[in-house]
Amino acid sequence: MSERGQVSVMACAVVVLLVVAGFLIGVLGGIDSAGANAQRAADMAALAAGHRLSSDPAAADADLRSAAADAARDNGGRLVSLIQLTEDGLPSGVEVSVAVDGEHPVRARARVGVEFTAAEPTASFRPVDLHGLAGRAAVVAAAAAQVGWPYVWGGESRAEGGFDCSGLVDYAFTAAGAALPGRPTAADLWRMGRPVPAAALQPGDLVFVGAAGGAPHHVGIYVGDDTVLSAPHTGARVGYSPLAYGGWDSYASLLPAGPAPLDDPVSAAARRSGVPGHVLAAELRMGLASDPDAAAAALARAQAGHPGSLQEALATQLGSASAAALVLRDGGGAGVGLSGAVRLVPLPHGDADADHDASLPAAPAQTPTGRPASAPMAAGSSWSDDIGTALDAGGHTAEQLGERGRAVPLQAAAALQHLSRFGLTALGGLLPDPDWRDAVNVVGSIWDTYSAIRDVTAAAAAGGLELSGVGLWAARFSVLGGALSTGLFAAQAYSARRSRDRVGYGLMAVGSAATTAGLMTAGGSLMAMGATTSVVPPVGLTLIAVGAGICVTGYLVRHPEWCRGAARIGAAALDVAWRAQSAPVRAVATVADRARSLAGSIPTPW
Amino acid sequence: MRRQSGQASVEMIGCAVLLAIATVAVLEALTVVRARITAERVADQAAVLMAEGRPLPASLRGAARIERRGDRLVVTVPLPVRLPALPAAAVVTATVPR
């Protein structure tokens, strides 16, 4: 009979453990799923903001937030924060934090890096953003942007490979908003112009060779400071030369007379180093350089290494292809196409706000770069796949528990605590030996006492302990279980034969009642099925602590042998501690005694 | 004695059935969670790749059915064993930013 009963009890225990395991799987799976949802929402939000940034590096924070918020919302999340990342003052990426509310509120972060690429138009020369310049200054700036292009006779387009002298003038006037009729040659320009004496030359005026004979064959643009900008001859490049050494014999102006534009230090530095003025100005505007001459010299050195590509020269000078693209865009304006490769990048360890530099790592061919991607399982999975998935899920869940958000660890820890406590209760009810059951139950009561004292301490300032999710349901079951226990303990106290059992069960009944009453101080929200949160006030937590303590006392009254055993263990521990502590003293005393005795044994000669 | 033996047999059978049901339930829970996790992972990776403008590798497509419906990405991982009360597959949807 008793064997049959034990089989049933053990079977029930296994079933309960399986149910607990199933519950645990469900809870952890839910937490993992919530974490994955949050991470996906964060990834998509970051990528959306990154794409917005890649199309407009000057996009306002509000625009990026709007794009990120939309993407987060579409994926079930809520944008919490967005930080625009910069590298050397230039936009380099975005980091977002996204929250997913629900049963397992989770917060996740994601970071994208944006690598900009500039694309100059294929059919025309360097576009130039004149940044408000007009008239003579605009003509000079537009021409100065073309420094470095090769001379090609009859050339007037990129497709032809370069400029000739009149092509450069035509381009500069057109870019400055003063387009010339047709495609004038040097002779046409001379005829269109108003002759001016050399002493009255102003930046933007034209200088000619051969005009004295009536048909000039070469033309340049006077840029001030006795310097001419021109596309000189085959084999040479657009560049500066002194007015005195070019053989210029005639001068004319296509622009109305007016005050000469000021020769700014940036243009002067570009002229001295022979570099395109518009990108030098952009570098200084964007804060990438502060000394025009030093920046111009650095760019000149870089251009010597990359004579055919201003973008590559800029990348070499600035140490970043992305920065070079942004400089070209700023200097060239909307005519320079700008695009950006947007990639998830790993979050820095520690405080994300501490490091806003987001460099773009080389992207592997097949997997996203945002984080170590877990390999998806192949169809027709094997046990190794299952183990891998389990490990992956475990790792992911651990990541959720450990890193993401503040709510998840609390929820998960609470869930595990409640499950463990529930496991103790189940074990205490199912173990075959009553003494074992009591031993497990007293551990549970000590746990309750400790938890309640800890909660009282922590919740005193907050006005109570807020219960939600798993915690709320655990409290509801605890109320039912506490009420049941109170009745059972009272009945056992009534029917007990030994006085210590009567006292012990009585104390346990009182303790259970106090614990239940403590939980009930949370009010109706505790048991209302529709309620999602409930608050146990400090007085309730105190009652729970006191009640659990009384329960422990009840168990100890019923099991004086535990007290005796504990006293024996305590005494033994104290004895060991005392011996350990006093060992050095005793050793010193022994050595001293021996020294004394040795000294006494030495015979005196007198 | 015979009555006790008969009762023991009935209890044993009952316990075995209970254990079998509980075991199947736990295994099914594991399967559902596993399918869900796989779908989440595939959806994560596929959505990121699509948002970055990169092609989906074949290994990703082999792990689940991936459908693109406008800007929505639907990833379906069928459950190997179908029980009447449970869904036939784990489905995860991601919205890829344009």
d(CA A56, CA A166): 36
Q: List pLDDT tens digits, range A515-556.
A: 888 888 877 777 776 667 777 888 888 888 888 888 888 888
List of chain B residues whose C-beta atoms are within 8 Å of the C-beta of residue A25: 26, 29-30, 33
Collect all residues with Cβ–Cβ distance below 8 Å to A216 and sequence separation of at least 6: A186, A187, A189, A190, A208, A209, A210, A250
Average pLDDT over residues B30-57: 87
**Is the pLDDT at B29 greater than 50, yes or no?**
yes
Does position A399 have pLDDT exceeding 70, yes or no?
A: no
pTM confidence score? 0.58
C-alpha Rg value of chain A to the nearest Å: 42
The pLDDT tens digits of the residues spanning A466-498 come to: 777 667 777 777 788 788 888 888 888 888 788
Could you say which of B12, B22, B40 has the minimum Cβ distance to residue A7?
B12
pLDDT of A376 over the 50 cut: no
Confidence of residue A268 (pLDDT cuts 50, 70, 90): confident
CA dist., res. A228 & res. A236, Å (int) = 15
- As a whole number, mean pLDDT of residues A81-90 equals 90
Contact A18 B94 (CB under 8 A): no
What residues of A are in contact with residue B64 (Cβ under 8 Å)?
A: 376
Contacts with A1 from chain B: Cβ below 8 Å: 4
- Average model confidence (pLDDT) for chain A? 78
How far does the CA of residue A420 sit from the closest CA of chain B (Å)?
18
Partner A contacted by B5 (CB < 8 A): no
Residue that wins the pLDDT comparison between A406 and A583:
A583
Q: Which of A22, A48, A67 sits opposite B26 (nearest CB)?
A: A22
Which residue carries 């048909």 as its tokens? A215
Distance, in Å, from the CA atom of A373 to the CA atom of A201, rounded to the nearest integer, reads 67
Could B48 and A1 be called an inter-chain contact, meaning their C-beta atoms sit closer than 8 Å?
no
Q: Do B62 and A344 make contact, defined as CB atoms within 8 angstroms?
A: no
The pLDDT tens digits of the residues spanning A136-176 come to 888 888 888 888 888 887 766 666 777 888 888 988 888 88
Q: How confident is the model at residue A350 (pLDDT cuts 50, 70, 90)?
A: very low
The answer to whether A304 and A275 are in contact (CB under 8 A) is no
Query: Could you tell me whether strands A250-253 and A194-195 are parallel, antiparallel, or unpaired per DSSP bridges?
Result: antiparallel
* Neighbour count for residue A435 (Cβ, 10 Å): 12
Q: Say how far apart CA A477 and CA A390 lie, in whole Å.
A: 31
pLDDT tens track for A200-210: 888 889 999 98
Q: What is the mean pLDDT of residues A575-587?
A: 76
Q: Number of residue pairs across A and B with CB atoms under 8 Å?
A: 141
Element (H, E) at A156: strand A156-157
Residues in B closer than 8 angstroms to A377, CB to CB, are 38, 63
Chain A positions in Cβ-Cβ contact with residue B25 (cut-off 8 Å): 18, 22
CB spacing of A32 vs B26 below 8 angstroms: no
User: Alpha carbon of B2 to those of A518, B6, B8, B11: distances in Å?
Assistant: 52, 6, 10, 14
Model confidence band, residue A11 (pLDDT cutoffs 50, 70, 90): low
Instruction: Using CA coordinates, name the residue in chain B closest to A19.
Output: B22
As a whole number, mean pLDDT of residues A39-62 equals 91
Is A569 a residue whose pLDDT tops 80?
yes
Q: Output the DSSP codes for A187-224.
A: HHHHHHSEE--GGG--TT-EEEESGGGT---EEEEEEE
Tens digits of residue pLDDT in A417-432? 666 777 777 777 777 7
Higher pLDDT, A64 or A2: A64
Give residue-wise pLDDT tens across range A215-241: 888 999 998 888 999 988 888 888 899
> ∠A305-A308-A312 over CA atoms, to 5°?
60
Interchain CB distance below 8 Å, B44 and A4: no
Residue in A29, A344, A378 nearest the CB of B48: A344
d(CA A137, CA A130): 9
| Chain A nearest C-alpha distance from B4 (Å) | 8
The SS3 of residue A322 is helix
| Averaged pLDDT for residues A68-86 | 93
Nearest to A551 by CA among A459, A456, A443: A443
- Using a CB–CB cutoff of 8 Å, tell me whether B43 touches chain A: yes
Residue ranges of alpha helices (H) inside A247-373 are 265-273, 277-285, 292-305, 310-318, 321-332
Q: Do A11 and B18 touch (CB under 8 A)?
A: yes
Q: Look at residue B82 and tell me whether its pLDDT is greater than 90.
A: no
Q: How far is CA A349 from CA A99, A185, A359, A520, in A?
A: 20, 64, 15, 44
List Cβ neighbours of A482 (8 Å cut-off, separation of 6 or more). Answer: A512, A513, A515, A516, A519
User: Of A45, A342, A392, which is closest to B52 when you measure between CB atoms?
Assistant: A342
Q: Is the pLDDT of residue B18 over 50?
A: yes
Q: In this model, does residue A80 exceed pLDDT 80?
A: yes
Query: Measured between CB atoms, does B31 come within 8 Å of chain A?
Result: no
Distance of CA A329 to the CA centre of its chain: 28
Q: Which two tokens stand for residue A236?
A: 């040479």
- Listed in sequence order, the DSSP H helices in B1-98 are 2-51, 58-63
Chain A residues within 8 A of B43 when measuring between CB atoms: 40
pLDDT at A403: 44
CB A232 within 8 A of CB A165: yes
Interchain CB contact of B63 with A (< 8 Å): yes
- Do the chains contact at B36 and A33, CB–CB below 8 Å? yes
Kindly state the DSSP code that residue B9 receives in the 8-state scheme: H
Average pLDDT over residues A350-371: 39
Nearest to A74 among B15, B37, B95 (CB): B95
Question: In sequence order, what are the residues at sequence separation of 6 or more whose Cβ sits closer than 8 angstroms to the Cβ of residue A319?
Answer: none
Cβ-defined contact of A18 to B37 (cutoff 8 Å): no
Q: What is the arithmetic mean of pLDDT over A36-62?
A: 90
**Touching check for B20 and chain A: CB below 8 Å?**
no
